[in-house]
């Protein structure tokens, strides 16, 4: 994305991103445009100058939100969005991802400028378009979040670590690939607590323990000892009076997570080359 003059010069009033209220406003306007373009006609219906309100697959959107999200007062978006909290915004983004579909074909109803009556839709393309537009909105938020390919709002990786999250886990062993994927999701999900992140680090440490017999031929004994010293003596895998816990958990858990994740990728790739 192009960095405009005031951002480059340091004179922009929002150099670190926009506050939540402004991001919600952007979201509301993007949703309105997508709805005008027919991306929610299949799910939520549309209005015809002759037929009035035409139902989509979801006849009562507020009820559908309550059944899925367990919240009231989130719909209609144009009326409710000004009261959204961060959780509400992300819930609605994930909800809409499940129901968006790109209009493909239909008939033009020209009377009184009614417009297209869409009849054929492509869900996957709709989700892709929705994700691109929503991530453009989220990229302006002062906090780092993004909508994933499977429709979850997740913390963005620390700057410079994006490739490791996009890289395939080079293993067909579910004890490795499944646990790494689960740990990554637990670490990145919106609302993850310190306890959640510690558990994610513990999962990665357990994966390394599982790989340990094969690692001995790939890394030095000192590196191996350092890896497991961190996990075993810094309040990650054990809970006793010998643990060293006098550290900033948020910072150190972040470092441990990326250290273990990158080590797993390196070890797995070395194993494949052997």
pLDDT, mean of residues 162-188? 89
C-alpha angle 198-246-165 in degrees, rounded to nearest 5:
30
Domain boundary among 109, 143, 177: 143
Q: What pTM value is reported for the model?
A: 0.84
Model confidence pLDDT, tens digit, residues 55-93: 999 999 999 999 999 999 999 999 999 999 999 999 999
Q: Which residue has the higher pLDDT, 84 or 197?
A: 84
Same domain, 112 and 75: yes
Q: Which residue has the higher pLDDT, 105 or 241?
A: 105
Q: Which residue range is the domain that position 96 belongs to?
A: 18-143
State the Cα–Cα distance between residues 100 and 130, nearest whole angstrom: 7
Q: Are 53 and 116 in contact (CB under 8 A)?
A: no
Band of residue 238 on the pLDDT scale cut at 50, 70, 90:
very low
Same domain, 180 and 237: yes
pLDDT at site 166: 81
Antiparallel, parallel or unpaired: β 145-147 and 46-48: unpaired
State the Cα–Cα distance between residues 97 and 127, nearest whole angstrom: 6
Per DSSP (E only), the strands in 9-144 are: 46-48, 52-54, 102-109, 115-122
User: Is 8 a member of any domain?
Assistant: no
State the Cα–Cα distance between residues 272 and 245, nearest whole angstrom: 36
Q: Which residue has the higher pLDDT, 147 or 110?
A: 147
Same domain, 118 and 178: no
Q: Are 227 and 206 in contact (CB under 8 A)?
A: no
* pLDDT reading at 189 higher than 60: yes
Same domain, 31 and 101: yes
* pLDDT reading at 256 higher than 90: no
Task: Supply φ then ψ for residue 145, to 5 degrees.
Answer: -135, 160
Model confidence pLDDT, tens digit, residues 151-172: 999 999 877 778 888 888 888 8
Model confidence pLDDT, tens digit, residues 114-144: 999 999 999 999 999 999 999 999 999 999 9
The DSSP string of 42-74 is: HHH-EEETTTEEEP-S-S-HHHHHHHHH--SS-
pLDDT at site 161: 76
Same domain, 265 and 176: yes
Same domain, 23 and 138: yes
* pLDDT reading at 244 higher than 80: no
The owner of tokens 């410079």 is 160
State the Cα–Cα distance between residues 43 and 120, nearest whole angstrom: 12
State the Cα–Cα distance between residues 65 and 243, nearest whole angstrom: 45
Same domain, 139 and 184: no
Band of residue 255 on the pLDDT scale cut at 50, 70, 90:
confident
pLDDT at site 248: 65
State the Cα–Cα distance between residues 114 and 248, nearest whole angstrom: 60
The owner of tokens 């799910």 is 43
- Return all residues near 133 (Cβ < 8 A) that are at least 6 apart: 30, 34
Average pLDDT, the chain: 90
Same domain, 222 and 121: no
pLDDT, mean of residues 245-265? 81
User: Is 44 a member of any domain?
Assistant: yes
pLDDT, mean of residues 81-108? 98
Same domain, 30 and 129: yes
User: Is 104 a member of any domain?
Assistant: yes
User: Is 108 a member of any domain?
Assistant: yes
User: Is 148 a member of any domain?
Assistant: no
């Amino acid at each position: 994305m192009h960095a405009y003059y005031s951002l480059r010069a340091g004179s922009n009033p929002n150099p670190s991103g926009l506050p939540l209220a402004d991001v919600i406003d952007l979201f509301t306007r993007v949703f309105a445009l997508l709805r005008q373009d027919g991306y929610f006609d299949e799910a939520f219906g549309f209005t015809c100058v002759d037929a009035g309100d035409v139902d989509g697959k979801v006849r009562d959107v507020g009820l559908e939100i309550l059944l899925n999200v367990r919240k009231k007062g989130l719909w209609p978006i144009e009326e409710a969005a000004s009261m959204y909290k961060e959780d509400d915004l992300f819930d609605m983004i994930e909800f809409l991802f499940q129901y968006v579909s790109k209009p493909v074909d239909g008939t033009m109803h020209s009377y009184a400028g009614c417009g297209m009556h869409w009849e054929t839709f492509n869900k996957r393309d709709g989700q892709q378009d929705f994700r691109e537009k929503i991530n453009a909105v989220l990229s302006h938020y002062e906090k780092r979040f993004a909508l994933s390919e499977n429709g979850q709002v997740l913390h963005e990786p620390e700057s410079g670590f994006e490739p490791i999250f996009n890289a395939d886990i080079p293993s067909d062993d579910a004890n490795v690939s499944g646990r790494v994927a689960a740990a990554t999701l637990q670490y990145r999900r919106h609302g993850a607590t310190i306890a959640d992140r510690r558990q994610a680090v513990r999962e990665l440490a357990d994966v390394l323990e599982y790989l340990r017999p094969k690692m001995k031929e790939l890394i030095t004994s000192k590196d191996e000892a350092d890896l497991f010293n961190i996990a075993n003596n810094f309040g990650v895998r054990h809970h006793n009076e010998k643990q060293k816990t006098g550290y900033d958990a948020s910072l150190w858990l972040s470092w441990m997570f990326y250290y273990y994740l990158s080590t797993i990728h390196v070890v797995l790739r070395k194993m494949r080359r052997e």
